């Protein structure tokens, strides 16, 4: 009888430990948003695959008024993530050793959301995945599509 109680207490302790570690793991996700298409999760640098957002210092113009479209892209991502847990599906690494991934909040693709919001471009050089989202934003003149802008890959060349 004593051995059975010991086994029961041992098993309950193990289950409690696993449960507590799981809860701690979920709550301990540290997210740093670098820019519109790059985040750090628990120190891992993740670049969103298939999209490109304006650089932080990049500007756009609407009715001759300067807009900080790179900062706006980052802010849209910050607002979308909020205090939510981000889940990413890795698609490999890029030439800079960053993890390439599609990331989700509440099962919604952050990349799709950014492109459809008009603050990211479908990066057709590497993927066709978000072209429909870009076509939607462009057709409805959403975000950058209502402004004069330079594509981020052209801006970086300068």
Mean pLDDT of 55-65: 96
Question: Which pTM was predicted?
Answer: 0.80
The pLDDT tens digits of the residues spanning 67-114 come to: 999 999 999 999 999 999 999 999 999 888 899 999 999 999 999 999
Helix, strand or coil for residue 56?
coil
Mean pLDDT of 51-55: 97
Strands 44-48 and 99-105: parallel
First to last CA, the chain: 78
* pLDDT mean across residues, the chain: 88
**Model pLDDT, residue 105:** 97
Domains and CATH numbers, the chain: 31-157 (2.40.50.90)
% the chain with pLDDT above 70: 82
CA distances for 2 relative to 8, 118, 122, 126, 131, angstroms: 10, 66, 65, 64, 66
Residue 12: pLDDT band with limits 50, 70, 90: low
Q: How far apart are CA 95 and CA 92, in angstroms?
A: 10
pLDDT at 151 over 90: yes
């Amino acid at each position: 009888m004593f051995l059975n109680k010991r086994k029961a207490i041992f098993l309950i302790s193990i289950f409690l430990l696993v449960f507590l570690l799981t809860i701690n793991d979920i709550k301990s996700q540290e997210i740093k948003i670098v820019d519109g298409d790059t985040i750090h999760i628990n120190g891992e640098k993740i670049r969103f695959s298939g999209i490109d957002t304006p650089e932080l210092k990049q500007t756009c113009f609407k009715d001759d008024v300067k807009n900080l479209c790179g900062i706006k892209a980052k802010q849209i991502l910050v607002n979308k993530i909020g205090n939510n847990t981000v889940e990413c599906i890795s698609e490999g690494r890029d030439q800079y050793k960053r993890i390439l991934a599609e990331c989700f909040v509440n099962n919604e693709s952050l990349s799709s959301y950014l492109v459809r919001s008009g603050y990211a471009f479908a990066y057709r050089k590497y993927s066709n995945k978000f072209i429909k989202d870009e076509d939607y934003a462009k057709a409805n003149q959403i975000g950058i599509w209502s402004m004069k802008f330079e594509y981020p890959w052209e801006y970086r060349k300068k």
